[in-house]
Amino acid sequence: MPSLNAPPGAIVVIDYGMGNLRSVWQALVRVADGRQVLVSSDPAMVSAAERVVFPGQGAMPDCMREIDQRGLRTAVLDAARNKPFLGICIGQQMLFEHSEEGNVPGLGVLAGTVRRFPPSRMFDAAGDTLKVPHMGWNEVRHARQHALWNGIADGSRFYFVHSYFVDPLDSDCAVGTTAYGIPFTSAVARDNIFAIQCHPEKSAVDGLALLANFVAWKP
């Protein structure tokens, strides 16, 4: 996973020590259409990228701490304002104002809160208890049209691993919903930002299609 330079057209995957970066990088390379895909923790590299992918795994407090300790906050915020930007999993959650996980502030790019699945609602249609974290394949319903849904059928199944979900203040930014005990927002978009709770890099053909759409996206 080279990270020496950011040539014109480069896609940079932000490395802050908390994501499964190799699988994201490999999936992007498959659909990059000749563009170079780099993994970097260098703020200057992020700033020089044409488009940015912001993945993440682990606990929200740890992720926010690592972003700041590595001096990446300003570069992430600038990228989220100025270039095609894809948030994945915790990379989606960190865009919001606050998380119930650790009671920590996020980056505040999008208004809203990251909430834990409520134990009192974690039952399936048969009344059986649903496990948290929500882990495995589940449907994503299109709340509205978006370029990143091109070629992906409404209700396609994607791979999830999470205990928390985003609750946007502005419902218009929701572009995907999923049901797990409760309906929750699983994908959001605004201007040049698209962020999704699931892992497209682990979601087979439809996940690769979403990543290919991101590579081609001109917001």
Alpha carbon dihedral 194, 21, 56, 53, in 10-degree steps, equals: -20
What residues pair up with 177 in beta bridges, in sequence order? Answer: 141, 185
Task: Establish whether 173 is a catalytic residue.
Answer: no
Range 45-64 burial, b when 16+ CB lie within 10 A, else e: bbbbbbbbbbbbbebbebbb
Active site residue 100: no
* Residues 6 or more apart whose Cβ sits within 8 Å of residue 173: 110, 188, 189, 190
Residue 199 annotated among the catalytic residues of the structure: yes
Q: Which of 134, 146, 162, 199 is catalytic?
A: 199
Torsion angles phi and psi, residue 30, rounded to 5: -65, -25
Catalytic site residue from 63, 89, 173, 198: 89
Question: Contact 178/138 with Cβ under 8 angstroms?
Answer: yes
Q: Name the residue with tokens 């040049």.
A: 192
Selected catalytic residue, list 63, 134, 198, 201: 201
Give the SS3 label for residue 41: coil
Please give the structure tokens belonging to residue 104. Answer: 């920590």
Enzyme catalytic residues: 89, 199, 201
